[in-house]
């Protein structure tokens, strides 16, 4: 995974709960279902 290259935090945005669940099992730090949540509530937009 990308964390081996020094990435500190990994997040994924999707509308498919199965894919979000799989990503969480693979070690993704933050999963966001964009049908239910606003991405802006989780990340700082510059």
φ/ψ of 21, rounded to 5, equals -65, -45
| Residue-wise pLDDT tens digits, 5-19 | 888 889 999 999 999
Q: Quote the percentage of the chain above a pLDDT of 70.
A: 93
Cα(41)–Cα(3) distance, integer angstroms: 24
Between CA 28 and CA 1 the distance in angstroms is 9
- Dihedral of the CA atoms 20, 3, 11, 18 (nearest 10)? 0
Q: Token digits for 2?
A: 């990308």
| pTM, to two decimals | 0.77
Domain boundaries, the chain: 2-41
The pLDDT value recorded for residue 42 is 85
């Amino acid at each position: 995974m990308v964390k081996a290259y020094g990435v500190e935090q990994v997040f994924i945005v999707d509308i498919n709960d199965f894919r979000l669940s799989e990503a969480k099992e693979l070690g993704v730090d933050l999963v966001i279902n964009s049908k239910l949540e606003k991405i802006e509530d989780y990340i700082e937009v510059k």
